[in-house]
Amino acid sequence: MNYHTSVLLQETIAQLRVAAGKQYIDGTIGGGGHAGAILEKGGLVLGIDVDSDALANIKKNYQLPIANAQLILTKGNFKDIDTIARENEFESVAGILLDLGVSSHHFDEPERGFSFGHEALLDMRMDKDLRVKAGDLVNVLTKNELIELFTKLGEEPFARPIATHIIEARKIKPITMTTELAEIIKKAVPYTKKINPATKVFQALRIAVNDELNNLTEALPKAVTLLESGGRLAVISFHSLEDRIVKRSFLEFAADGLGTIITKKPIIPENNEIKANSRSRSAKLRVFERI
């Protein structure tokens, strides 16, 4: 099975203006699609991912560039991009990419617990070294904390009835499985044909378990200082919470005189990409260039 279909691949590589011999940091190497395109153009890549499965897959598929030291891999969190870059002598780079969120692999591997369609333990950790799993949040948070989580990180309009149903179900036994939680949510919200009613709650839990918004907020100012003059930071986001952070951070960088926002409006996928890969439909690419 394809590990992950890269989103906005051509657009991102064009924006990074990849040049042979220059250094690039891929902070979310995932299935390696974007990194592979940078390598093909002769760029040198420092590839980071929190997920050891992703890195094992890259090691298998990119043996030659690894052997040639064209690709360096590190398990780590992009919130530590400054330290990781320094340790690997990637301190003044031509481009940085953050392609946020999970890869298709995470949804395709039932035991990772990201998908409401596959029966699995409620896990959702991208980094298996993290201690708190989605199931811990579902069973430990108070009703008000659940409501706040589903509202803030899932923008779920039925947060209150869902939290009430979870508390009731929890009184009988802990909620441990993805499908169990999906069933509880289904009972709590009015029927809709459009999207699975569990979508937003699963998104909220995933963002919380992996601390995704704080990681991004922390990483962006560090990333921008690692760019050489004319170097570009490209960020692909998949929902409005992330996109808002990217947009605001870029505005702050511009106001601080650090460089220019290249994408006054975000770049979004063409219709044919959305048709071929429905996950791309919410993607937004924003680019900042260092002065």
Ligand X SMILES: C[S@@+](CC[C@H](N)C(=O)[O-])C[C@H]1O[C@@H](n2cnc3c(N)ncnc32)[C@H](O)[C@@H]1O
User: For binding to ligand X (CB under 6 A), which residues are involved?
Assistant: 4, 6, 27-28, 30-34, 48-51, 54, 77-79, 99, 101-103, 126, 215
Find the Cα–Cα–Cα–Cα dihedral 73, 76, 82, 84, rounded to 10°: -40
Q: Judging by DSSP bridges, how do beta strands 227-237 and 284-290 pair with one another?
A: antiparallel
- Both structure tokens of 179: 């499908």
Nearest approach, Cβ of 22 to ligand X (angstroms)? 18
Residue whose Cβ sits closest to ligand X: 30
Query: Which C-beta is closer to ligand X: that of 52 or that of 229?
Result: 52
Torsion of Cα atoms, 250 then 76 then 284 then 274, to 10°: 170
The 8 Å CB, 24+ separation contacts for 127-136 are 127/50, 127/51, 127/77, 127/210, 128/51, 128/52, 130/209, 130/210, 132/209, 133/209, 134/205, 134/206, 134/209, 135/174, 135/175, 135/176
Quote the least distance from Cβ 280 to ligand X, whole Å. 10
Nearer residue to ligand X within complex by CB, 101 or 113: 101
- Minimal distance, residue 57 CB to ligand X, in Å: 9
Nearer to ligand X, 27 or 197 (CB): 27
Contact, 40 vs 13, CB < 8 A? Answer: no
* Nearest distance from C-beta of residue 202 to ligand X, angstroms: 16
Q: Are 84 and 108 in contact (CB under 8 A)?
A: no
**Least separation in angstroms between CB 133 and ligand X:** 16
DSSP H or E run through 198: none
Please spell the DSSP secondary structure of 94-136, one letter per residue.
Answer: EEEEEE-S--HHHHH-GGG---TTS--BS---SSTT-S--HHH
CB nearer ligand X, residue 12 or residue 263: 12
User: Quick one: 27 or 43, whose CB is closer to ligand X?
Assistant: 27
Minimum distance from CB of 114 to ligand X (Å)? Answer: 11
Residue whose CB is less far from ligand X, 182 or 223: 223
Residues 6+ apart with CB under 8 A from 63: none
- CB closer to ligand X out of 5 and 196: 5
Q: How far is the CB of 1 from ligand X (least distance, A)?
A: 13
Phi then psi for 167, rounded to 5 degrees?
-60, -40
